[in-house]
């Protein structure tokens, strides 16, 4: 029996955010490969000078990580022939911030944990395999686990500079 050949593929999302309020950002996210476009917004509450008209970015980040893992669990359960009635994931994302005087604060991640409850009669070893595959297939979790460097450029006088 011959081994199946590996397929590679690129997944690219592009986003453009525009400031539209005190702390509100309206963000258009495109997935060109699928010809899909999503309109999202973030805002902060009064504590951070916003009006609370949309979820703060960290709420969307928490939802994205949680939803990504849940999506992979359901998708891979089918591939691994695991019957399940449902899945519940409870996420806890913890950061520390430090501010000296009125200077801008600095943040540091402390821990991210996901408690996964898969409603299934499958044996424990199959559920462990499902979770392991799902963690490896979750783009967001893999980005965090591998510590992807985020590049920045700053536009100054109509020219872009690495920042």
pLDDT tens profile 110-139: 999 999 999 999 999 999 999 999 999 999
Please tell me whether residues 103 and 113 are part of one structural domain: yes
Cα angle for residues 97, 54, 32 (degrees, 5° grid): 100
CB 42 within 8 A of CB 25: yes
Please tell me whether residues 88 and 153 are part of one structural domain: yes
Measured CA to CA, the distance from residue 58 to residue 95 in angstroms comes to: 10
Report the pLDDT value the prediction gives residue 3, as an integer from 0 to 100. 87
Q: What mean pLDDT value characterizes the chain?
A: 96
pLDDT of 77 higher than 90: yes
From residue 143, alpha-carbon distances to 33, 75, 139, 161 in Å are 20, 19, 6, 25
Measured CA to CA, the distance from residue 133 to residue 91 in angstroms comes to: 18
Please tell me whether residues 62 and 51 are part of one structural domain: no
Report the pLDDT value the prediction gives residue 32, as an integer from 0 to 100. 95
Nearest Cα to 88, choosing from 67, 111, 65?
A: 67
Domain count, the chain: 2
Please tell me whether residues 83 and 146 are part of one structural domain: yes
Measured CA to CA, the distance from residue 105 to residue 57 in angstroms comes to: 16
Please tell me whether residues 50 and 32 are part of one structural domain: yes
Token pair recorded at residue 21: 């309020």
pLDDT of 88 higher than 90: yes
Please tell me whether residues 83 and 121 are part of one structural domain: yes
pLDDT of 1 higher than 90: no
Report the pLDDT value the prediction gives residue 47, as an integer from 0 to 100. 87
Question: Residue 31 sits in which domain range?
Answer: 1-55
Return the residue matching tokens 């960290």.
58
Please tell me whether residues 30 and 96 are part of one structural domain: no
């Amino acid at each position: 029996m011959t081994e199946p050949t590996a397929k590679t593929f690129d997944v690219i999302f592009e986003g453009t955010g525009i400031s539209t309020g005190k702390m509100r950002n309206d963000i258009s996210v495109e997935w060109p490969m699928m010809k899909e476009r999503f309109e999202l917004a973030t805002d902060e509450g009064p504590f951070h000078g916003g009006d609370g008209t949309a979820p703060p970015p960290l709420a969307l980040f928490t939802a994205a990580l949680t939803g990504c893992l849940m999506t992979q669990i359901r998708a891979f359960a089918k591939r691994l022939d695991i019957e399940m009635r449902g899945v519940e994931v409870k996420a806890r994302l913890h950061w520390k911030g430090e501010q000296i005087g009125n200077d801008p604060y600095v943040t540091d991640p402390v821990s991210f944990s996901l408690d996964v409850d898969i409603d299934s009669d499958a044996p424990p070893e199959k559920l462990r395999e499902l979770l392991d595959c799902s963690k490896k297939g979750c783009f967001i979790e893999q980005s965090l686990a591998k510590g992807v460097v985020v590049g920045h450029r700053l536009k100054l006088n109509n020219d872009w500079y690495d920042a």
